[in-house]
Amino acid sequence: MQARLHIEAPATETVALWYWLRNESDLRGRVARAPQPSSPGSMGTAADLVVTLATSSTAAVLARSIQVWLTQRHRDITLTVTGPDGRTVSLDARRVQPGEVEPLIRAGLGLTEKPSTASGGAAPVAPVEP
Answer whether residue 125 is part of any domain. Answer: no
Residue range(s) defining the domain that contains residue 18: 2-36+45-119
Answer whether residue 102 is part of any domain. Answer: yes
DSSP-derived letter for residue 23 is T
Please report which confidence band the pLDDT of residue 124 belongs to, taking 50, 70 and 90 as the band edges.
very low
26-29's contacts with Cβ under 8 Å and 24+ in sequence apart are: 26/57, 26/58, 26/61, 27/51, 27/58, 27/61, 27/62, 27/65
Q: How far apart are CA 52 and CA 34, in angstroms?
A: 12
Cβ atoms of 49 and 67 closer than 8 Å:
no
Answer whether residue 20 is part of any domain. Answer: yes
Cβ atoms of 95 and 64 closer than 8 Å:
no
Answer whether residue 65 is part of any domain. Answer: yes
Number of domains composing the chain: 1
Q: How far apart are CA 127 and CA 130, in angstroms?
A: 9
Cβ atoms of 62 and 101 closer than 8 Å:
no
Backbone angles phi, psi at 23, to 5 degrees: -85, -5
Answer whether residue 103 is part of any domain. Answer: yes
Answer whether residue 70 is part of any domain. Answer: yes
- The pTM assigned to this predicted structure is 0.76
Q: How far apart are CA 49 and CA 40, in angstroms?
A: 21
pLDDT in tens, 59-106: 999 999 998 898 888 778 889 999 998 999 998 877 777 688 888 888
Answer whether residue 78 is part of any domain. Answer: yes
Answer whether residue 24 is part of any domain. Answer: yes
Per-residue confidence (pLDDT) for residue 38, from 0 to 100: 61
